[in-house]
Amino acid sequence: MTATLPAREEQLTGWGRTAPTRASVTPVRSVDDVAAVVGGSGPRGVLARGLARSYGDAAQNAGGAVLDLTGLDRVLAADLVTGELDVEAGASLDRLMQLFVPLGWFVPVTAGTRYVTVGGAIAADIHGKNHHRVGSFGAHVAWLDLVTADGQERRIGPDTDPDLFWATVGGMGLTGVIVRARVRMKPIETARCVVDTDRTPDLDSLLDLLTTTDHHYDYSVAWIDCVARGRRMGRSVLTRGRFARRDELPARAQRDPLRYRGDVLLSVPPVIPGGLLNRLTVSAFNELWYRKAPQRKRDQLQTIPTFFHPLDGVGEWNRVYGPGGFVQYQFLVPFGQEDALRAALERISGSGTASFLAVLKRFGEGDPGFLSFPAPGWTLALDIPVVPGLARLLDDLDELVVAAGGRIYLAKDARVRPEVFAGMYPDLDRFRAVRARVDPDGVFTSDLARRLSL
């Protein structure tokens, strides 16, 4: 059956451009295509892949088969009264925004990039700036259709085989291939956001401001200067906002309040020299970024791309880290473990590593996903170029996070040790039991799954 589907050998990486491996990639355009490749997969198994925005090795399958789902991207039905969409898994959040923002609907949850497929958003159970209010992506999925290892298609949801559903939400593609889903969108009056900005001088003032004001805002995120030390450690620029009402727009903008464009304005060249991002250049950038932010600004109108996806305006921005690539490290520690967060920042700022993309958010209640990352607490994500000594730093941070009852995010991970990972997710055995039930031969696998013995 698979002979009718052309495949190509490709070297694949995550967005961090580390740990490349080769696989046989087959573009698919139908559920029958998916079932054919799953049924014909060899001893190295099969894995679905979307737009490759997971940072590590989650969407790689060395020596095996990989399904390119980006051709499975149709919107099958849309209820413009309730905002429910039936959509194929390869459709991107970018496409949903292009189609439905002009009709008054926004995606319920978006990561820092809109170039994520619906299937990927479910498999990674992505979170955004609004987790403290509405949870992660899986909370807004009414049902999904999953092709399992036997080639059969199953419709599952929170009330229909909930164990399989919650093993799939956040399960990194290891229970089967998500082929379509029903997603509940968010109603909006305009395509603009009302944004408040505050500049805070240190970590304590940031945590206090978030704790006392976050509940007033639908969306919030803080950029943190991870190079600053001493009294300035954790200084930040905090932005919080909500979608604007039509009557809050200037008169001219009220004529077309839902006008939306999400363009790529420029692209990073294919070849960037190594070492461009070092402590000196990042310190200079961070100083400029901190100083240019207003001390306090209220009710600024911003576009969706500016507020939610500023990096998407730069094509292939991951190249700026040079040929060695970079690691994004994202961890969570529960409320009450602020000392662990502070200790982590002290180690990062004192390590000599350089991260100019570092963001802190405040999570609300998590969903029941067995491997879902968010839980009540603080999450810090930072991008770090691959440099000597980085592995030791991150191993030390892992130990700190585990001791605090925290965890790291699988969609960002490229290197955590399996014995450490096992201490981060208390429902790991429940995930493994469901996976053994629906895929006893381990048909669905990935470089991440093999590395962590999932």
Are the CB atoms for 129 and 361 separated by under 8 Å?
yes
Contact 17, 54 (CB under 8 A): no
- Mean pLDDT calculated for residue range 340-351: 91
Per-residue pLDDT, averaged over 243-270, amounts to 90
Residues 13-21, mean pLDDT to the nearest whole number? 94
Rounded Cα gap, residues 260 and 276, in angstroms: 34
Looking at residue 142, the DSSP 8-state letter turns out to be: E
Q: What is the pLDDT of residues 173-186, one digit of tens each?
A: 999 999 999 999 99
390 CB neighbour count, 10 Å cutoff: 17
Under 8 Å CB-to-CB from 157, ≥6 apart: which residues? Answer: 141, 142, 143, 144, 165
Q: What is the mean pLDDT of residues 127-156?
A: 98
- Percent of the chain predicted with pLDDT > 90: 82
pLDDT of residue 280: 76
Domain ranges of the chain: 71-188, 192-422
pLDDT tens digits, one per residue of 36-57: 999 998 999 999 999 999 999 9
Which of 201-205, 226-230, 234-238, 423-427 shows the lowest per-residue confidence on average (mean pLDDT)? 226-230
Burial (CB < 10 A; 0-12, 13-18, 19+), residue 359, is middle
Evaluate whether 71-188 and 192-422 have a shared fold.
Answer: no
pLDDT confidence of 307, banded at 50, 70, 90?
very high
How far is Cα 390 from Cα 356, in angstroms, rounded to an integer? 16
Side chain identity at 28, as an amino acid letter?
V
> What single string gives the DSSP state of each residue in 357-391?
-EEEEEE----S-TT----SEEEEEEEEE--TTHH
- Whether 93 shows a pLDDT value over 50: the answer reads yes
Cβ density class 421-449: b for 16+ within 10 Å, e for less: beebbebbebbeebbeebbeeebbbbbbb
Tokens 């573009």 locate to 27
Q: How high is the mean pLDDT of the chain?
A: 94
Candidates 3.40.462.10, 3.30.70.2520, 3.40.228.10, 3.30.1360.70; CATH matching 192-422: 3.30.70.2520
Instruction: Tell me how far the alpha carbon of residue 233 is from its chain's centroid.
Output: 26
| Residue in 99, 97, 100, 130 with CA at minimum distance from that of residue 115 | 97
Q: C-alpha 78: how far from its chain's center?
A: 25
101-115: average pLDDT: 97
Identify the weakest region by mean pLDDT among 20-34, 188-202, 325-339, 378-392. Answer: 378-392
Q: What is the pLDDT of residue 277?
A: 67
Q: What pTM did the predictor assign?
A: 0.96
pLDDT score, position 275: 64
Tell me which of 1.10.357.10, 3.30.2010.20, 3.30.465.10, 3.90.220.20 is the CATH number of domain 71-188.
Answer: 3.30.465.10
Q: What local confidence, expressed as pLDDT, does residue 2 receive?
A: 41
Instruction: Report which of 407, 302, 415 is spatially closest to residue 363, judged by C-alpha positions.
Output: 407
How high is the pLDDT of residue 288?
A: 83
Helix, strand or coil for residue 313? helix
Question: Residue 299 burial (CB < 10 Å; 0-12/13-18/19+)?
Answer: exposed
**Cα–Cα distance for residue pair 121/107, rounded to 1 Å:** 11
Output 69 or 316, whichever has higher pLDDT. Answer: 69
